[in-house]
Amino acid sequence: MKLYAFPTDNDRARIHSLIQLNACGRISRMRADIAITQIMDKYGISALRVNDYTIKVGEPIKTIMGSFQVTHIKTSRTAHGDRCPDCGGKPGYLEGDAEITAGCQNCGAVFKFSYKEEVN
C-alpha cells in the first residue's frame, strides 16, 4: 500500500486558481480539469475540499479523439438570484444536473443557485 502526502496549501491554492481562471474565461475547462486531475493524482485522492467547495475527479470521457479528464465542482455558497454573491456579476459558466454550479466571469467566485419552487 502506497502512502501519499496530504495536499499542501500551495497545491490547494493552485486548484483554486485554476477554477477561478476558468470561471473568468482565461483558461479552458479542459485545461483546468487536466491540471486539477494531475494535482489530485499526485496525492492519490479523488475528492478534495478547497475553500467553500469540493472538487471530485470524474470518469474520463473517452471519444475517438482521445480521453478527456473530468472534474465535478460542488459548492455550499448560494446565490439568491442570478448574480454572483461576491461582486454582483453575471455567471460565466454553468454546469450540473440537480444542482447548478456557476462561476463568475468578473471575480472567479464559485457558487450555486437557489431558486424557490413555484407552487401551482
* Cβ–Cβ under 8 Å, residues 18 and 36: yes
Looking at the domain assignment, is residue 120 inside a domain? no
Q: Give pLDDT, residue 37.
A: 96
As a whole number of angstroms, the distance between CA 46 and CA 54 comes to 10
- Range(s) of the domain holding residue 75: 9-113
Quote the number of domains for the chain.
Answer: 1
Looking at the domain assignment, is residue 3 inside a domain? no
Looking at the domain assignment, is residue 93 inside a domain? yes
pTM of the model: 0.77
Tell me which amino acid residue 63 is: T
Taking the chain (120 residues) in consecutive chunks of 10 residues, what is each chunk's mean pLDDT? 80 93 85 95 93 90 89 82 78 60 78 58
Looking at the domain assignment, is residue 1 inside a domain? no
Q: 61: closest CA among 34, 84, 40?
A: 34
Q: Give pLDDT, residue 119.
A: 45
Looking at the domain assignment, is residue 109 inside a domain? yes
Looking at the domain assignment, is residue 31 inside a domain? yes
Looking at the domain assignment, is residue 91 inside a domain? yes
Q: Give pLDDT, residue 11.
A: 95
